Amino acid sequence: MTPAIIPDVAPRSHAAPQPQQLHAAGRNEFSAILDDVGSLFGKAQHAEDVLAGGRGDLQTAIYERARADVALAVASAAASRAAQAITSFFNMPV
């Protein structure tokens, strides 16, 4: 005898998140991203300060600065894409 096929169904115990929760989650994620980018720039600044103080090496300073620059470029591109999406959404004819 073959087992019965049971369709995938979302559990009923989980309620859908409320809009306030979604808004708060988005705000927390955005601030976390900004904190991470800021942290990368802090590491880059520290590596450059250590190099300038004669205790660090050039490779580490260049690497940390490059990581921070790439993170900033990615964050800028994401913000630009989000702004374009919002603009095209508001320009839709109703």
Decide: 57 and 51 in contact? Cβ < 8 Å.
Answer: yes
Q: What is the pLDDT of residues 69-87, one digit of tens each?
A: 999 999 899 889 989 999 9
Tokens of 62: 């260049």
Decide: 12 and 29 in contact? Cβ < 8 Å.
Answer: no
The residues, any chain, with a CB within 8 Å of residue 44's CB and separated by 6 or more, are: 61, 64, 65, 67, 68
Separation between Cα atoms, residue 83 and residue 62, nearest integer Å? 31
Q: Choose between 15 and 61: higher pLDDT.
A: 61
Q: What is the pLDDT of residues 44-60, one digit of tens each?
A: 999 999 999 999 999 99
